[in-house]
């Protein structure tokens, strides 16, 4: 159950930090060198576990400890990202996971003493900021400037959002969001029919952004248009850029990015990340994405000049969490 991958270079004397990313489908953990978890640094060890296979956060961490042994307890600090609203860095009740995360309820030794929870898109935002411009895929041309507000959005099991605000000292303040659970704005008669289809399938009181713009949303879109009930990975393997499913889903993704851009005004650029776009490049490169992103009665010109970049590095969120763990260790040691 799960995958454990070790990289060369880890030894018993190496100072480490533990980073985690608890998603609705998979939970990933990595040990990073405490003094080298920045841009392009490989993890010393990487573990991926199916989130739904565990009845509790404690059980998940017990399996992690079994995989990594004493390396977990000797890590200097840990930062665990989770897809949900985090309270005081200690507690989270995720909407798409069957258990709560409570650091104060854990037995000693499952995590380092210095441990913190953070929203998954706080970690994604921090990780995206570490990506070099040369490593990003240009979705829409436009300036990218970390000295101005930047926004982050990404579809995976759900839809996550975040904002990066410059702090005036070369760093940034990250604002997470649960906007993926707001109501999706359907437009036109065809989309009204799709809305009725989604509500009948999901039994939700209203269709949320992440109901439509996510892996499961891709599957719903394909089922509505073709009558084929496939899981998201099967749709990814089946759909090409010229299929109606691609055009519809790219339009929905473009709408999600446009509305988030209008809500946050990221003049420094918009990052698109997470698994759906990384695995289905057409979802952001299709003409329907750009057409919908720039469709605005009032701000078309603004949107046409806004930079949009795709982050394909699937370790970005873990690397962002690792950076937070390094900061946590340094702060508790009194290091500036």
Contact criterion met (CB below 8 Å) for 53 and 16: no
User: Smallest Cα–Cα separation from 20: which of 63, 73, 61, 67?
Assistant: 61
First vs last C-alpha separation in the chain? 41
Measured from the Cβ of residue 303, the count of other Cβ atoms closer than 10 Å reads 21
Checking phi first, is residue 203 left (phi over 0); if not, alpha (psi -120 to 50) or beta? left
| pLDDT in the model for residue 72 | 84
| pLDDT in the model for residue 133 | 80
CA 266 vs CA 33, 147, 149, 235: distances in Å: 32, 11, 5, 32
d(CA 256, CA 185): 9
CA 198 vs CA 113, 158, 207, 276: distances in Å: 45, 15, 7, 19
User: Which residues in the chain show pLDDT less than 50?
Assistant: 8, 334-336
| pLDDT in the model for residue 8 | 47
């Amino acid at each position: 159950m799960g995958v454990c991958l070790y990289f060369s270079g880890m030894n018993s004397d190496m100072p480490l930090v533990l980073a985690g990313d608890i998603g609705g489908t998979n939970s990933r953990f990595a040990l990073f060198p405490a003094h080298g978890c920045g841009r392009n640094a490989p993890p010393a060890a990487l573990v991926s576990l199916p989130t739904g296979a565990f009845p509790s956060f404690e059980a998940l961490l017990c399996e992690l400890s079994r995989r990594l042994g004493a390396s977990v307890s000797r890590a200097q600090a840990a930062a665990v990202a989770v897809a949900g609203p985090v309270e005081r860095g200690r507690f989270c009740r995720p909407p798409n996971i069957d258990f709560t995360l409570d650091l104060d309820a854990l037995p000693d030794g499952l995590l380092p003493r210095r441990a913190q929870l953070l929203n998954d898109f706080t970690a994604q935002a921090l990780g995206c900021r570490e990506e070099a411009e040369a490593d990003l895929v240009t979705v829409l041309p436009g300036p990218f400037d970390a000295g101005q507000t930047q926004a982050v959005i990404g579809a995976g099991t759900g839809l996550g959002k975040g904002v990066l605000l410059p702090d005036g000292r070369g760093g940034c303040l990250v604002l997470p969001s649960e906007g993926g659970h707001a109501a999706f704005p359907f437009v036109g008669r065809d989309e009204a029919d799709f809305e009725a289809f989604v509500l009948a399938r999901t039994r939700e009181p209203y269709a949320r952004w992440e109901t439509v713009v996510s892996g499961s949303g891709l599957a719903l879109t394909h089922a509505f248009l073709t009558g084929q009930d496939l899981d998201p990975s099967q749709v990814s393997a089946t759909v090409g850029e010229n299929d109606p499913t691609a055009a519809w889903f790219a339009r929905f993704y473009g709408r999600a990015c446009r509305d988030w851009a209008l809500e946050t005004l990221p003049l420094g650029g918009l990052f698109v990340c997470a698994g759906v776009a990384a695995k289905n490049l057409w979802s952001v490169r299709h003409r329907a994405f750009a057409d919908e992103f720039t469709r605005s009665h009032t701000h078309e010109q603004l949107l046409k000049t806004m930079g949009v970049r795709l982050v394909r590095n699937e370790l970005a969120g873990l690397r962002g969490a690792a950076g937070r763990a390094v900061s946590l260790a340094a702060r508790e040691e009194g290091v500036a």
